[in-house]
Every structure is written in structure tokens, then in C-alpha cells.
Amino acid sequence: MKSITLLDLHKSFGATPVLRGIDLQVTAGEFIVFVGPSGCGKSTLLRLIAGLDDPDQGRILIGDREVTHLPPPQRGVAMVFQSYALYPHMNVRRNIAFGMTLARESADTIDRRVHEVAHMLKIDTLLDRLPRELSGGQRQRVAIARAVARRPEVCLFDEPLSNLDAALRAHTRVELTRMHEALGTTVVYVTHDQTEAMTLADRLVVLDGGSVRQIGSPAEVYRAPADLFVAGFFGSPPMNLLAATADAGLARLANGSVLPIPAASVTGPVTLGIRPDDLRRVPAGDAARATTTGLDGTVLRVEELGEARLIHVALTDHSVVMIRDRESTWPARGEAVRLHAPPAHWHVFDAGGRRL
């Protein structure tokens, strides 16, 4: 396993800048995930590490060795693409062994590693089948097995699960986690799927517009988003964001609602953020209904999720917030409600969008 160091990487396609000065240190053995909206530069960054594209500026190191201008075969990396890219005339065994055969590994080594990774990814009963005889999930696991069987210093994954259905994605995520724990390979993984990002990553790199917006553990990115972009992008459903004016530890919304916030020294325009899981309904008759520190609104829609409900509430200024709630009963559509959240659960962002 090797570390990866990216220093001031820039990349443009024609007059369009795609990466704008990326600096990143990936620890040896780490599972790091690049996540962001389409067009944010995450796949381009992966291709630069792989050597499939060249940066316009900057340096790439794998371990202590600079590889910025080395061709892909000399970098010690393996890559798994969104399309399986299996050889259709070769059975699973030969597909997995292909890279090791080219590297002139011994027959015993090839056989041992093929069976090792096939067992790890639960495809050991499929070794004699051709790709056309496999399901999509099985083909993707063969592609993963082919990559890791070579024992690369770095494994790169470019949205490898996006073609699978939800159940197969969940199953394959588990297999990927087990594989990483067993082999300890350094993994760089690209996805736009937040569930994949949160469940797989040791650390997340959130990208937008070719720049890094935040780097941190999944819990850090979710609980303490660095700015409004991360707050609005991360979470399903996303964080509720409300414009307000802050003064002396209180924030006043456009509709006159006043909320205590954990930023006593902030004054002026701010944006308040609250996760749907952190908002609660104030029961009818509760003493809190007699105060001004709450959000008044009307139930707009209730979505049943099975284990919970997703409630859309239109506030009196016509903005809409969402609440994920597990109460047994909820007011019906059109009924008035008051919402509240502990002050510590509110996120406060300044006029520039940075978290305070």
C-alpha cells in the first residue's frame, strides 16, 4: 500500500477549467471517497492519478515517487470503471488472472490469488463462466477481483456501482468493505451516491466546481458542514436552510419567528441550517407554544417511509422545511404546527456561506 500526494493540480479542457489547484494527502491504506455533483471534477481527478490524463499544472506522488508524467502501467495502480470492461471471450478465471499473466507471475501465484479474491468477493463458484452468463452485480465483482488480484499499491474506483440496482449496490458495498479490511490497499473511490460515500469512506473529499469544499470523516462532514454548499448537498433529505438576522444569540426569521442559536457574538444577516432529524413538533398544549421561539407553519405533505415519516411544513413566510419523524401520529395535511429544535442543533452560516 502507498500514500498519494496531490500538489496544486490544475486541469482544463479547452477554455473550461475543471480542476482548480487541488491539494490532498491520502494516507497509505486509507479508503478515501471523492463525492460531489456531476461536473465537479471528481472523475477527472481520478484519471489524473491513474495517468489517463495529464495535469496542466501540479505534481502527483505515489509513495515517495513522483508519477506526474509516468504512463499508467508504471504507476502501480489498478482501476475499476463504471462499465465492467471484461473480456467477453475469457471466462471469469482468465479475466481475473489477465493482469498477472501479463506481468508473468508464476502459475501457482496466479491460481492462489484468483481463488483468494474470488472467495473474498463470493464469485468462486463462477470461475468457469463467461461474462455473458453473469448478472450485472457478478460482472462488477469480477472487474473488482481483476483489479485487486494484482496486489496494486493503489486501487481506483470510478462509480463502479452506478449500474446496479439498490439491493446489489448495498451487497457490493459490504463486499468492498470486507475486501479493503482484508487487503489494506489504498483506495480512491469516486461516487455521486451519498450512501456509498458515507458507508465506505474513512474520509470524504467534497468537490464542487473543481475545488475542494471540505475534507473530513463522514460524521464530520454531516454534522459540521464547512459551508452552505456542503450543508445543502450532504444529507438525504438535505439540511433545511433559512435566511435570518442574528443579534445577541437570537436569530429572527422573515416571518418574525425568533430562534436561539449557538453563536452569541454574531450580528447581521445569516443563514440557519437544521437537519430534518433534529426538528421536532411542539405538542398542542405544551408551554412552548406560548413563546415566540419556534417555527409556525402548516403541514403541506406527509410521506410514509416505513420506519419514519417525511413531513413537509410550509412556514408562514412560505418557505418549506422538512422533518423526519418517528412519532406514531402527526397532524393531517393543512393543520397548523409549531416546530422547535435545541439551540445546539442549529448550524449558523455567515453572509459568505461559511459555517460559524
Domain-wise residue ranges, the chain: 4-231, 237-349
CATH class (in words) of the domain with range 237-349: mainly beta
List C-alpha distances in Å: 207 to 35, 58, 224, 239, 345. 6, 18, 16, 18, 25
In sequence order, the 6+-apart residues with CB closer than 8 A to the CB of 49 are 4, 6, 60, 62, 77, 154, 156, 188
pTM of the model as a whole? 0.88
Three-state DSSP state, 162: coil
Residue 36: the pLDDT is 92
Does the N-terminal peptide bond of residue 37 adopt cis geometry, omega within 30 degrees of 0? Answer: no
pLDDT at position 170 is 84
Q: 4-231 sits in which CATH class?
A: alpha beta
Q: How high is the pLDDT of residue 237?
A: 87
Tens digit of pLDDT per residue, the chain (356 long)? 899 999 999 999 989 999 999 999 999 999 999 999 988 999 999 999 999 999 999 999 999 999 999 999 899 899 988 777 889 999 999 999 998 888 888 999 999 999 988 988 889 899 999 999 998 888 888 998 998 888 888 999 998 888 777 887 888 888 888 888 888 899 999 998 888 999 999 999 999 999 999 999 999 999 999 999 999 998 888 999 999 999 988 888 887 888 888 877 888 999 999 999 999 888 766 655 445 567 888 999 988 888 888 999 999 888 899 999 887 677 788 888 888 888 889 999 999 999 98
Question: Taking a C-beta distance cutoff of 8 angstroms, is the pair 99, 61 a contact?
Answer: no
Report pLDDT for 290.
Answer: 45
- Residue 278 corresponds to which amino acid? D
